[in-house]
Amino acid sequence: MGLDYFTAFYIFAQITYNMEEFDEFDDFRDKQSTIGDDGSRVWVYPKKPNGKLYNYRKLTSVVLLAVLFGLPFIKLNGDPFVLFNFIERKFIIFGVMFYPQDFHLFVLSMIAFIVFVVLFTVIFGRIFCGWICPQTIFMEFLYRPIEYWIEGNYSQQRKLDQAPLDFNKFWRKGLKHLIFYLISFVTAHFFLAYITGIDHVKEIIIDGPDTHLAGFIGMIVFSGVHYFVFAKLREQVCIIICPYGRLQGVLLDRNSIVVSYDYKRGEPRGKYNPLEDRNDKGKGDCIECGSCQAVCPTGIDIRNGTQLECINCTACIDACNSVMRRVKKPEGLIRYASERSIADKTKLKFNIRILFYSVILAGLLILIAFLFSIRTDIESTILRQKGTMYQEYDSLHYSNIYMIQVINKTREALPVELKLDEPENGEIKMIGDPLVVEKGQVGEAQFLVLIKKRDVKKSNTEVEFKVMSNGKEMDEIKSTFVGPNSLDKK
Ligand code: SF4
Ligand code: SF4
């Protein structure tokens, strides 16, 4: 048998997961629920979930989807509220503009975010995947409900897939994939809006593809990838592709709170018989109904313990709770719990690892707050014009020529003036028009500095500039003023 795509990925997943874990468990660890014995894909047909947690997740998804599709329309002083224009290296996050010069702030914020996610995962496991991750939200609350609506519940979907192609199958599959593609196409427009802004996307729509060929090709490619992910790849993204999923093996420990099966209470499992007393028969609370597995979007059995494939979607909690209610047993046979709390009946402990991550996170947040506090509205550079020496401006003055470059990080045009702070009796003469830098732009100008000959006492004199705008000091820059070398010998 050749090594196909899924088997290769599975081997990779095993290597990147904690190998020691694999040795300890039974044979379910040796194969993946979505890979058959011959290496082919096993399609997952999860039963439509239902229950309290599912309703909370639905509500969360509606809010997050509204935010995702609504944010590009929000503007602040004519600029997008959020923009990730990595092509022009311009980022706006919640109204704050970031330029290449602020890259350290951006990188630090990203690192802080990653540390936060790691810390959160150590304590709460993969809860992000089940509740917030766009992959889960799009799949479970947009694409999957459409599939249930057109093809029916899991058993009807399975039957439809197995049936020969007839008119019924043709229209159902055709309609589903058409809607899937349309959603992907619309989503691609919104993702592009996060990169280039909603106005640019509107332009592409109004002007047509021929005038914005690059943007149009980008959208077609993105819609294709998006469609492929949700129509075909699905849970494989969470199981074998997502790097965050791969990290679970090293992030989770026995204290992490994850979706867990209470094996102490559930085992030994046994079929339900309303006429028997399960305690007398030595049976646990699990009635082997399989409902938890039937609703699982990654096709696993949570009763086998915490698994790499589990995205903590809580569908099995809802399913099992509904079964427990029907057999008049307490809910929570499957629940959010740590392995330790189930095994030892203990509560979450604040361990060294959590302390370590918390300290790093706090340090990063303080550093970012400090860097934000010293972030200036403009960034300016003053350099003496390359390759020039001093000039005798007139009989009384020496002059040097300089170049100023100003980045305006504000949301309005800034007139820029220069003052010579040191030496006090020097003079500045701008060359050309007064410098006005448009918002978000870089402005440049040349100027002369004149210093009286009698005040130039050596070949290199320190000069200090104040960059002003509307009478307000914006920046302070030091440079040197070059005079004749002969002055050093005196
Ligand atoms: S849903 Fe609950 S009772 Fe049914 S098999 Fe799963 S754990 Fe056991
Ligand atoms: S095991 Fe439960 S929580 Fe984990 S993915 Fe399956 S249904 Fe969701």
Least confident of 124-138, 205-219, 262-276: 205-219
Decide: pTM greater than 0.75: yes
Closest residue by Cα to atom 4, ligand 2, is 310
b (16+ CB within 10 A) / e for 362-373: eebeeebeeeee
Q: Is 151 left (phi over 0), alpha (psi -120 to 50) or beta?
A: alpha
pLDDT tens column, 356-368 = 877 887 888 888 8
- The Cα–Cα gap between 223 and 216 comes to 11
**CA of 253 relative to ligand 1 center, distance in Å:** 24
Sequence letter at residue 245 = G
Q: Which ligand is nearest to the CA of 315?
A: 2
Is residue 338 within 8 A of residue 261, CB to CB? The reply is: no
Residue nearest to atom 8 of ligand 2 (CA): 313
Interval between CA 290 and ligand 1 midpoint (Å): 6
Is ligand 2 within 6 A of the CB of residue 300?
Answer: yes
Closest-approaching ligand to the CA atom of 286: 1
Atom 2 of ligand 1: nearest residue by CA position: 320
* Closest ligand 2 atom to 313 CA: 8
Instruction: State which ligand 2 atom lies nearest to the alpha carbon of 302.
Output: 1
Q: Indicate whether residue 288 lines ligand 1 (CB < 6 A).
A: yes
Q: Using the predicted structure, report yes or no on whether residue 85 has a pLDDT greater than 90.
A: no
Pull the structure tokens for residue 292: 């938890």
122 lines ligand 1 (CB under 6 A): no
In tens, the pLDDT along 414-439 reads 999 999 887 777 899 999 888 999 88
What is residue 41's DSSP assignment? B
Q: Quick one: 406 exposed, middle or buried, by C-beta within 10 A (0-12, 13-18, 19+)?
A: buried
- Is the shortest distance between the CB of 323 and ligand 1 below 6 Å? yes
Distance in angstroms (rounded) separating the CA atoms of residues 399 and 403: 13
Helix (H) or strand (E) holding 256: none
Q: Is the CB of 292 under 6 A from ligand 1?
A: yes
Which residue pairs, CB below 8 angstroms and at least 24 apart, start in 330-335?
Answer: 332/262, 333/261, 333/262, 333/265, 333/266, 333/285, 333/286, 334/259, 334/260, 334/261, 334/262, 334/292, 334/302, 335/259, 335/260, 335/262
57: amino acid identity, one letter:
R
With the most atoms of ligand 1 within 8 angstroms of its CB, the residue from 291, 334, 335 to mutate is 291
In angstroms, rounded to a whole number, what is the distance separating the alpha carbons of residues 256 and 332?
17
Question: pLDDT tens digits for 292-346?
Answer: 999 999 999 999 988 888 999 999 999 999 999 999 999 999 999 988 889 887 7
Q: 15 or 447, which is more confident?
A: 447
Q: Is the peptide bond before 243 cis (omega within 30 degrees of 0)?
A: no
